């Protein structure tokens, strides 16, 4: 029984991290119908920011996660202004390919500047600390990440649902022209949404060096899983993305332990295909 | 726009004028220079790019030694400049990304378009496999440094040569270590074995060899754990190991996955009595340094580490050149094999006094080559292209240093057994 609970706990904690990574992708798709292919590379850049702040200035990832968020906010806003802006009104594939190009640029830039070496931040505040809860081992870095994910997701959800800015975002997502006629500066909304989407993934990437090695390829799998969470949860649905991410984490953990470790991503992608087949708009999509 | 066009025209006219003034025509310099083009195929990007970049630097180091006089370097050909009375090695680098299809396509491009004389690579066994078949069809020599899958040299190819040890040899060596621990350590009682490996040609073949060697040695494999390289976590994998709780663990885990494995073992508070690793993240001195004390007491087969300086004195001067290309990172067991591979090939070209690949291949088989960068000091190939003199020593990381623990005649320290639990470090 303890083993099952441990596997479930690991799955839920990993799922919360996936949710935080996927949140930005969900926001951007929900408002702009744009899939940001560089999302995984945003994670990687934020991890490098956190790593270098830790390595050079001894700043703990718990603090530098904010710097990661701020920097990826700027990167996100610039992505919109310099790339996506020129694809609005064009076939959807053009934005997809443009962000794919950005992903290649960021990955190769980091490869060139930082080499492919794996970089591990040691002696962080959370370190590899764990504590016992009954028979369960609770890893502190993953627990703190999960709490942070809940906070950020709750904050963004509240902002979208209950603030004037959020209503403007919803209006823009529903009908851009009508929103403009109501006096909403939709261009500004787009910039901010790309920025906020970037900031959330920047926060996720910023805290990840506590438990993961940093290297130019680290974001690839996270980007892919984020896409699956958003597609399964329903493009644009924040609660849907959260639920889907936890489901992905749990399915990954259960199948990895009870079937075979090598089967865990097969189960995740199989679940994704099943959801897309049965409900193409995702679990919470509309 | 018009200004731009006239500027480009002006540049072109100026370039032609400079060429005429210097008496240079296109292709002239290449035609006059005697070069042997060697194509390299390594994973310069992708999950194991760190290893690939070091392998590239290792081949460049060998080329530099062959092409120029290095009186301080005590390896064959270092005292002369070039081969066959003035031929220089020119390297053409390509990136396999660690993918077999990309590696194969690059091998075809190197042979058909770049017109290389031979190939060297490809680090990943999965890439070396198809890329070497391309070379074999074209009758080009393929020198393989670090790919460890024993299957590579069981194909009876004529033009394929590997200098490193294989996972078959390493598996038997690991089992010998377990037997030795049972014999020499109080209450060792090692009976069960777990294997964790990446789901690739390298990992799967290493696991197969491990199972064969374990069966032969009387050990029971209780946990067989493959995983997808580049995973976001290894929780299920380590949880599986923990529940089966094998006495010893064999690992074929590369790069960042290795550090993730070690950290997850610590997170799950599980450690076997002994853990032995194939050529993998264990051998990467940068990962070992960054993992700090968490890396301690793991063991693995090692063909070279800077701590071997006393038994391999010739490496020091070569390593100085290598370090200029890696920003100060020393050789590891894998990268040094790529330098050895090119140096041995160069010796064979020089000895055969020919650039006919068939003649050079026959010469490679027919001789024993001095190789001060190899643990055995020599390289000789058996049919199929395997270096039958390849050796490795079992090391254990203690305080950030690779200490030699087995075989006892090569050891410089005592093994720490069993591995210290995480909470007692």
B57 and B103 together in one domain: yes
- Determine contact: A147 vs chain B, CB below 8 A: no
Q: Where are the beta strands (DSSP E) in B199-309?
A: 220-227, 248-252, 274-277, 299-302
- Determine contact: A126 vs chain B, CB below 8 A: no
CA distance B191 to chain A (A): 23
Range(s) of the domain holding residue B296 = 168-302+393-424
Contacts of A54 (CB under 8 A, 6+ apart): A60, A61, A64, A121, A124, A209
**Do the domain assignments include residue B12?**
no
Q: Which of A:77-116 have CB within 8 Å of B?
A: 107-108, 111, 115-116
Q: What is the CA radius of gyration of chain B?
A: 23
Contact between B227 and A261 using a beta-carbon 8 Å cutoff: yes
Rounded Cα distance, B50 and A88, in Å = 39
Angle at which helices A186-207 and A164-174 cross, to 10° = 110
CA distance A277 to chain B (A): 26
**Do the domain assignments include residue B172?**
yes
B138 CB neighbour count, 10 Å cutoff? 17
Q: Output the pLDDT for position B14.
A: 54
B211 and B225 together in one domain: yes
Q: Write the pLDDT tens digit of every residue in B76-125.
A: 999 999 999 999 999 999 999 889 999 999 999 999 999 999 999 999 99
Rounded Cα distance, B236 and B243, in Å = 10
B58 and B195 together in one domain: no
**Do the domain assignments include residue B177?**
yes
B43 and B112 together in one domain: yes
B202 and B114 together in one domain: no
The count of C-alpha atoms lying within 13 angstroms of the C-alpha of B68, restricted to the half-sphere facing its C-beta, is 11
Q: pLDDT-derived band of residue A148, with 50, 70 and 90 as boundaries?
A: very high
Q: Output the pLDDT for position B20.
A: 46
- pLDDT at A229 exceeding the cut of 90: yes
3-state helix, strand, coil in chain A (%, to 5): 75, 5, 20
Angle at which helices A2-32 and A39-57 cross, to 10° = 110
**Do the domain assignments include residue B196?**
yes
* DSSP letter for each residue of B303-356: S--GGGTTT-TTHHHHHHHHHHHHTT----HHHHHHHHHHHHHHHHHHHHT---
- Peptide bond between residue B161 and the one before it cis (omega within 30 degrees of 0): no
- Confirm if A244 and A220 have CB atoms less than 8 A apart: no
Among chain B residues, CA nearest to A8: B236
- Determine contact: A130 vs chain B, CB below 8 A: yes
Q: Which of A262, A267, A268 has the most B C-beta neighbours within 10 Å, making it the best mutation to test the interface with B?
A: A262
Q: Which among B331, B341, B404 has a CA at the least distance from the CA of B147?
A: B341
Angle at which helices B167-184 and B201-217 cross, to 10° = 40
What is the rounded average pLDDT of the residues A39-58?
A: 96
- pLDDT at B8 exceeding the cut of 80: no
Contact between B226 and A262 using a beta-carbon 8 Å cutoff: yes
Helix or strand (DSSP H, E) at A253: helix A238-258
Among chain B residues, CA nearest to A129: B267
Max Cα-Cα span within chain A = 60
What is the rounded average pLDDT of the residues B356-360?
A: 97
Q: Which among A269, A251, A271 has a CA at the least distance from the CA of A259?
A: A251
Q: Write the pLDDT tens digit of every residue in B29-63.
A: 444 579 999 999 999 987 788 889 999 999 999 99
* 3-class secondary structure, A228: helix
DSSP B157: -
Among chain A residues, CA nearest to B240: A257
**Do the domain assignments include residue B410?**
yes
**Do the domain assignments include residue B11?**
no
B338 and B349 together in one domain: yes
Using an 8 Å CB-CB cutoff, list chain B residues near A18. 232
Tell me the percentage of chain B whose pLDDT exceeds 70: 92
Domains of chain B: total? 2
**Do the domain assignments include residue B225?**
yes
Q: Is the dihedral of CA B284, B286, B291, B292 positive or negative?
A: positive
- pLDDT at A267 exceeding the cut of 90: yes
B112 and B188 together in one domain: no
Helix or strand (DSSP H, E) at A219: helix A219-233
Q: Write the pLDDT tens digit of every residue in A8-43.
A: 999 999 999 999 999 999 999 989 888 899 999 999
Q: Which residues face B141 on adjacent strands?
A: B118
Using an 8 Å CB-CB cutoff, list chain B residues near A139. 267
DSSP B310: T
Q: pLDDT-derived band of residue B6, with 50, 70 and 90 as boundaries?
A: low
Rounded Cα distance, B97 and A100, in Å = 18
What is the rounded average pLDDT of the residues B319-348?
A: 95
Distance of CA A182 to the CA centre of its chain: 32
Q: Output the pLDDT for position B266.
A: 94
Q: Write the pLDDT tens digit of every residue in A91-123.
A: 888 999 999 999 999 999 998 888 887 888 888
Contact between A111 and B45 using a beta-carbon 8 Å cutoff: yes
**Do the domain assignments include residue B103?**
yes
* 3-class secondary structure, B79: coil
- ipTM confidence score: 0.87
Structure tokens that stand for B47 in this block: 């999950």
Q: pLDDT-derived band of residue A183, with 50, 70 and 90 as boundaries?
A: very high
Q: Output the pLDDT for position B409.
A: 87
B264 and B151 together in one domain: no
Q: Which of A217, A218, A228, A258 has the most B C-beta neighbours within 10 Å, making it the best mutation to test the interface with B?
A: A217
DSSP B147: -
Tell me the percentage of chain A whose pLDDT exceeds 70: 100
Structure tokens that stand for B324 in this block: 């200029």
CATH number for the domain that contains residue B338: 3.40.50.2300
Tell me the percentage of chain B whose pLDDT exceeds 90: 73
Span of B83-92, B274-283, B350-359 with lowest mean pLDDT: B274-283
Rounded Cα distance, B217 and B186, in Å = 20
Among chain A residues, CA nearest to B53: A116
What is the rounded average pLDDT of the residues B315-338?
A: 94
B364 and B397 together in one domain: no
Q: Which of B342, B357, B379 finishes a domain?
A: B379
B161 and B175 together in one domain: no
Q: Which residue's entry shows tokens 């640029």?
A: A105
Q: Output the pLDDT for position A168.
A: 96
Total residues found in chain A within this entry:
286
Rounded Cα distance, A285 and B192, in Å = 50
B140 and B181 together in one domain: no
Q: Which among B155, B91, B109 has a CA at the least distance from the CA of B129?
A: B155
- Peptide bond between residue B407 and the one before it cis (omega within 30 degrees of 0): yes
Q: Which residue's entry shows tokens 């290309």?
A: B325
**B42 φ, ψ to 5°?**
-140, 160
Distance from the first to the final alpha carbon of chain B: 69
B88 CB neighbour count, 10 Å cutoff? 16
Contacts 24+ apart (CB under 8 A), B104-110: B104/B130, B104/B131, B104/B133, B104/B134, B106/B39, B106/B41, B106/B131, B107/B39, B107/B41, B107/B131, B107/B132, B107/B134, B107/B135, B108/B134, B110/B39, B110/B41
B196 and B157 together in one domain: no
Using an 8 Å CB-CB cutoff, list chain B residues near A137. 267-269
- pLDDT at B191 exceeding the cut of 50: yes
Q: Which among B163, B116, B120 has a CA at the least distance from the CA of B143?
A: B120
Using an 8 Å CB-CB cutoff, list chain B residues near A221. 230-232
Output the CA angle B394-B396-B400, nearest 5 degrees. Answer: 140
Using an 8 Å CB-CB cutoff, list chain A residues near B45. 107-108, 111, 116, 216-217
- Determine contact: A40 vs chain B, CB below 8 A: no
Higher pLDDT, A219 or A115: A219
Q: In what order do the strands lie in the sheet with B299-302?
A: B220-227, B192-198, B248-252, B274-277, B299-302, B393-398, B401-406
Q: Which among B112, B141, B221 has a CA at the least distance from the CA of B175?
A: B221
Inter-chain contacts counted by CB atoms under 8 A, chains A and B: 113
Minimal Cβ distance to A117: which of B50, B260, B269: B50
- Determine contact: A190 vs chain B, CB below 8 A: no
Using an 8 Å CB-CB cutoff, list chain B residues near A5. none
Structure tokens that stand for A110 in this block: 């980091």
DSSP A213: -
Q: Output the pLDDT for position B31.
A: 46
Q: Output the pLDDT for position B16.
A: 47
Rounded Cα distance, B174 and B186, in Å = 19
Rounded Cα distance, A236 and B320, in Å = 56
Rounded Cα distance, B333 and B146, in Å = 8
Output the CA angle B195-B201-B205, nearest 5 degrees. Answer: 45
C-alpha dihedral over B176, B181, B184, B188, to 10 degrees? Answer: -140
Rounded Cα distance, B287 and A117, in Å = 9
């Amino acid at each position: 029984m303890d083993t099952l609970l441990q596997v479930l706990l690991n799955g839920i904690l990993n799922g919360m991290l996936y949710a935080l990574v996927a949140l930005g992708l969900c926001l951007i798709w929900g408002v702009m119908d744009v899939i940001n292919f560089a999302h995984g590379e945003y994670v990687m850049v934020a991890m490098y920011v956190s790593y270098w702040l830790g390595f050079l200035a001894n700043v703990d990832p718990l603090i530098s996660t904010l710097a990661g968020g701020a920097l990826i906010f700027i990167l996100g806003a610039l992505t919109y202004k310099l790339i996506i802006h020129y694809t609005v009104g064009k076939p959807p594939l053009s934005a997809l390919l443009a962000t794919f190009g950005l992903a290649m640029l960021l990955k190769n830039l980091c490869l060139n500047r930082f080499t492919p070496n794996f970089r591990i931040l040691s002696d962080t505040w959370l370190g590899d600390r764990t504590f016992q809860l009954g028979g369960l081992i609770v890893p502190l870095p993953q627990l703190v990440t999960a709490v942070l994910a809940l906070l950020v997701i709750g904050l963004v959800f509240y902002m979208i649902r209950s603030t004037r800015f959020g209503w403007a975002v919803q209006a823009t997502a529903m009908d851009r022209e009508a929103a403009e006629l109501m006096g909403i500066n939709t261009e500004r909304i787009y910039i901010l949404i790309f920025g906020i989407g970037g900031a959330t993934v920047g926060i996720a990437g910023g805290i990840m060096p506590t438990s993961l090695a940093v290297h130019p390829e680290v974001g690839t799998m996270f980007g892919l899983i984020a896409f699956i969470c958003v597609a399964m949860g329903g493009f644009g649905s924040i609660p849907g993305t959260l639920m889907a991410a936890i489901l992905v984490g749990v399915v990954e953990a259960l199948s990895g332990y009870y079937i075979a470790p090598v089967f865990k991503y097969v189960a995740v992608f199989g679940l994704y295909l099943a959801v897309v087949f049965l409900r193409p708009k995702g679990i919470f999509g509309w | 726009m018009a200004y731009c066009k006239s500027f480009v025209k002006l540049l072109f006219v100026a370039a032609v004028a400079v060429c005429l003034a210097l008496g240079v025509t296109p292709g002239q310099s290449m035609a006059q220079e005697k070069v042997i083009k060697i194509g390299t195929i390594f994973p310069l990007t992708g999950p194991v790019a760190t290893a690939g970049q070091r392998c590239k630097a290792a081949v460049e180091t060998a080329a530099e030694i062959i092409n120029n006089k290095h009186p301080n370097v005590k390896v064959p050909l270092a005292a002369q400049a070039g081969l066959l009375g003035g031929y220089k090695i020119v390297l053409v680098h390509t990136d396999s990304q660690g993918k077999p299809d990309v590696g194969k396509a690059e091998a075809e491009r190197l042979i058909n378009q770049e017109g290389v004389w031979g190939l060297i690579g490809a680090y990943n066994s999965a890439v070396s496999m198809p890329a070497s078949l391309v070379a074999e069809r074209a009758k080009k020599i393929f020198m393989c440094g670090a790919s460890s899958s024993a299957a590579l040299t069981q194909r009876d190819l004529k033009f394929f040569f590997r200098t490193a040890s294989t996972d078959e040899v390493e598996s038997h060596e690991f089992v010998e270590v377990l037997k030795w621990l049972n014999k020499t350590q109080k209450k060792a009682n090692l009976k069960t074995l777990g294997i964790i490996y990446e789901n690739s040609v390298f990992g799967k073949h290493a696991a197969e060899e491990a199972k064969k060697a374990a069966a032969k040695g009387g050990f029971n494999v209780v946990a067989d754990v493959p995983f997808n390289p580049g995973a976001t976590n290894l929780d299920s994998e380590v949880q599986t190991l923990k529940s089966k709780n094998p006495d010893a663990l064999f690992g074929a885990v590369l790069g960042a996955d290795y550090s993730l494995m070690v950290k997850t073992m610590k997170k799950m508070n599980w450690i076997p009595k002994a853990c032995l690793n194939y050529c993998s993240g264990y051998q990467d001195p940068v990962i070992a340094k960054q993992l700090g004390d968490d890396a301690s007491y793991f063991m693995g087969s090692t063909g070279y580490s800077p701590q071997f300086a006393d038994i391999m004195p010739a490496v020091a001067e070569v390593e100085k050149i290598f370090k200029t290309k890696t920003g100060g990172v020393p050789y590891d067991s894998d990268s040094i094999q790529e330098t050895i591979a090119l140096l041995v090939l160069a010796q064979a070209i020089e000895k055969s006094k020919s650039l006919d690949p068939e003649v050079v291949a026959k010469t490679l088989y027919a001789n024993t080559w001095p190789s001060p960068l190899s643990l055995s000091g020599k390289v000789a190939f058996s049919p199929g292209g395997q270096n039958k003199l390849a050796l490795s020593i079992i090391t254990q990381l203690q305080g950030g240093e690779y200490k030699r623990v087995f075989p006892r005649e090569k050891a410089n320290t005592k093994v720490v057994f069993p591995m210290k639990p995480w909470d007692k470090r």
